[in-house]
Copies of this chain bind each other. A is one copy, B any other.
Amino acid sequence: MEKDKLEADKLHKIRHSLSHVLAKAVKGLYPQAKLAIGPVIDNGFYYDIDFGKEKISSDDLEKIEKDMKAIINQNLEFKSFVLGIDEAIDREKKLEEKYKVELIEDLKKAGEKEVSYYQVGDFVDLCKGPHVENTQQIDTRAFSLFKLAGAYWRGDENREMLTRIYGLAFLNKKELLDYKKMLEEAEKRDHRKLGKELGLFVFSDVVGKGLPMLTEKGASMRRTLEKFIVDEEIKRGYRHVITPDLAKLELYKKSGHYPYYKDSMYAPIKIDEEEFMLRPMACPHHFEMYLTEPRSYRDLPFKMAELAKLYRYEQSGELSGLMRVRSFCLADAHIICADNRQAKEEVAGVLDLIDFVCQKLGLEPDKDYWYRLSLGDRQDEKKYHKNDKAWDEAESSLRQLLKDKGSKFVEAEAEAAFYGPKIDVQMKNVLGKEDTAFTVQWDFVMPERFKLVYTSQAGKEERAIVIHRSSIGAIERVMAFLIEFYAGRFPLWLSPVQVKLISVGEKHIEAVKSLSQEFKEQGIRSEIDISDETVGNKIRKSASEKIPYILVIGDKEVNSSKLAIRVRGEKDMIEIEKAEFIKKIKQEIEDFK
């Protein structure tokens, strides 16, 4: 652990120093360039620079990188000094570094009296440090300039558009190469790229950003996931309901989501004299359903689930394929429980369901996913509902459950919902970025707001506890995740096209069509390729589409009951009786269940 920490500090210093070296190289090549900021990031560093009228392209990165290496090889020292704040402002004004001026003026407004600078060779830059002592501590084979991007000064779209130069930087050459390989693999797996190649979804400018349209292939995947989770949840005693995507603004005032959640919601729609909202969450609808009848302890736990269509505001810059969209479908549920004991049992049931779902999706516990116990911050009474006893009970119940499971979990302060603590199921995407995939939340606030009560065995009115949970997440997001996880090589049950039928010649087209129809009748998803291409090309194309089974139909197949099949990943064709193949493929799909 100590060693990790030391290495991390060292890497941070290297990256930070490289950003100065980058700036020095740029100023050498483009003296008119104005520097903005150059921080360290996850995989290296960047610098935002105003190149003025000059335009630079990625071709220029090579030249800059070459100069950076030359600078490093001069074994220059990093030295720091301090200037009085007004002196610093004067300095930058003289150099016409307007971004630095603005930064220092803001520091002055914030009460700073002086600022620190770092000098490397003849290059001086405003900086808090820390840095390496000498550029010789930087391995020139362990960094490389990576890409260019546009970035608004201070992230404000009304300010100057700057050029951001990204660099990758690691401790040694191997780490850099490994990272580049990972990036390459991630790029190949990028669901936006694969989604397009495999024809799973499309966008249209005139329909709008963040609003993907699923083709028949993408839609088949989605329906498969939806049916899987609905069937499973019904087996597990959930009442699968369907409630509307909108509701009166009043509902969100009642729940307390409005105005706190307002920034994530779309503007209200006026219908007659009432205001309606596209819903950002389904809990208020489910609570209203619970309230339509008096409930008794016999009805509890009352488990309402829904494939809930939700709408949340995302800035257009944040939108990304199926991962970040403006309208999504959450496999949502709300479990109304009688008491803490029942709530704890139900959370255990949810964790079991999530394990089951993950297993079916091919994910391994502790490797592909793990738990995070997200706690409240008792000091922050603005963000978290005040009720120490309820927090204590809920937090210790959740912690106990995770311990009993024996699964890997971390605890995270101040990550809870405002109404109670939660267990988040965490996953990493192909770029190694951690994200919450599913969540189980303990809620002792909404039952008060909505008066969610039941009649106890003793005939008394008791307040319930609510568990909010998602099981398979937002369907769009899980699709994006699975595309990247499988790099498009989906297991048979999820494959949008399970069998591809290829005709050898013109005279086999009818046989291909009729066999495809036979598969359809059997519920097997098939696609045909009856183009004029050669059989070899057609097989290659189907293989690139990562289709589990490819069937080639020629004279021999037309004249017998045998099929010639190529199994995904195998080179050779195998021969099989048609009836046997249908049985086998149906069994393979069935076995998944």
Contact = CB atoms under 8 A, between A and B. Distances in A.
Given A206-B250, A207-B251, A278-B269, A289 B215 contact: yes
A57 interface: no
Interface stretch (A230-238, A256-264, A360-368, A498-506): A230-238
Given A230-B223, A289-B202, A271 B326 contact: yes
A220 B248 contact: no
15 contacts: A202-B289, A202-B292, A204-B285, A206-B250, A208-B244, A208-B248, A215-B241, A215-B289, A219-B240, A219-B242, A234-B520, A235-B520, A267-B270, A271-B313, A272-B316
A572 interface: no
Looking at chain A's contact residues, is the secondary structure mostly helix, strand, loop, or mixed? Answer: mixed
Contact of A218 (B242, B291, B531): B242
Nearest to A289: B213
Contacts of A175: none
Contacts of A206: 247-248, 250-251, 254, 288
A274 interface: yes
Closest 6 CB pairs of A and B: A216-B239, A211-B244, A204-B288, A214-B242, A219-B242, A202-B292
B241 A208 contact: no
A155 interface: no
Contacts of A204: 285, 288-289, 291-292
A241 B213 contact: yes
Given A241-B216, A313-B271, A521-B235, A247 B207 contact: yes
Contact of A207 (B234, B288, B304): B288
Given A214-B243, A223-B230, A289-B213, A207 B248 contact: yes
Interface string A271-309: 110101010000011001101100000100000100001
A398 interface: no
A244 B327 contact: yes
A219 to B, nearest CB: 4
A246 interface: yes
A242 B271 contact: no
Contacts of A244: 207-208, 211-213, 327
Kindly report how many copies of this chain are found in the complex they form together: 2
A222 interface: yes
A31 interface: no
Given A219-B240, A235-B521, A272-B316, 19 more contacts: A204-B285, A204-B291, A204-B292, A206-B248, A206-B250, A207-B243, A208-B248, A211-B244, A214-B243, A215-B289, A218-B241, A219-B242, A220-B240, A222-B242, A245-B327, A246-B327, A266-B271, A278-B278, A309-B309
A218 B254 CA distance: 26
Contacts of A208: 244, 246-248, 251, 274, 276
A536 interface: no
A291 B207 CA distance: 12
A406 interface: no
Contacts of A215: 239, 241, 289
Nearest to A314: B271
A432 interface: no
A214 B202 CA distance: 31
Contacts of A234: 520
Given A208-B274, A326-B271, A521-B235, A219 B248 contact: no
A457 to B, nearest CB: 13
A523 interface: yes
A214 B327 CA distance: 21
Contacts of A270: 267
